[in-house]
A and B are shown apart, each in its own frame.
Chain A
Amino acid sequence: DGGITQSPKYLFRKEGQNVTLSCEQNLNHDAMYWYRQDPGQGLRLIYYSQIVNDFQKGDIAEGYSVSREKKESFPLTVTSAQKNPTAFYLCASTPGANEQFFGPGTRLTVL
């Protein structure tokens, strides 16, 4: 089945830890995106990548980092510099036709 997978589904982080959220797609899409969703709010763009080995900051990139070494993979690292990381994280990809296809999400909680 073609689609976007995110892992883990739930993630718990201690204060001061870096954690990495996985996003993989087998849709052969060029562009990939990371969004953050807080309760009762819309999605906000963290980072996006339109091609391998290239990525740009979104609206709320501080405290996050990404890499795009392979077309299929776009992992997001939440660093200790992100002061309020508890949120729902969604990964998306698009073939360039504008509609984005989303993964099932990772719910991150800071203990």
Chain B
Amino acid sequence: AQKVTQAQTEISVVEKEDVTLDCVYETRDTTYYLFWYKQPPSGELVFLIRRNSFDEQNEISGRYSWNFQKSTSSFNFTITASQVVDSAVYFCALSRGFGAGGYNKLIFGAGTRLAVHP
């Protein structure tokens, strides 16, 4: 069975602080994909990143960075120097690899609500 856990329900920080959102996943597949999505107050989900299970390199995109560690089944997301516009709900998700049953079905965590205060 596949599962995604985001233990942090809500995080509140002051602008310019760094913040890390945790994501722990469970899967028996050897090939899988991990995702992060942002959901601003408007409701639409915005794709941030996809990582496949064979690529453990950390990724940095501007103020965003992701730390993928298969040994701990974690895919954590860090926002450096947070801004008010980062306030949103962030979802971590997992899908099976190509050829597996249920290909492309996303399993979502419950989300972490981030509030960045001026």
Contacts and interface: CB of A to CB of B under 8 A. Distances in A.
A41 B111 contact: yes
Contacts of B111: 40-42
A99 B91 contact: no
B106 A43 contact: yes
B33 interface: yes
A43 B44 contact: no
A96 B43 contact: no
Interface in B69-118: 91, 95, 103-106, 108-111
A98 B44 contact: no
A102 B33 contact: no
Contacts of B37: 102
A96 B50 CA distance: 13
A94 interface: yes
Interface of B is mostly: loop
A102 B47 CA distance: 8
A31 B37 CA distance: 19
A31 B44 contact: no
Interface in A65-95: 88, 90, 92, 94
A100 interface: yes
A43 B108 contact: yes
Contact of B110 (A42, A94, A96, A98): A42
B47 A98 contact: no
A42 B104 contact: no
Contacts of A88: 43
Contacts of A98: 33, 35, 50, 95, 104
A102 B105 CA distance: 14
Rank and list the top 6 A-B pairs by shortest CB-CB distance, nearest first: A42-B108, A102-B45, A105-B43, A43-B108, A104-B44, A42-B110
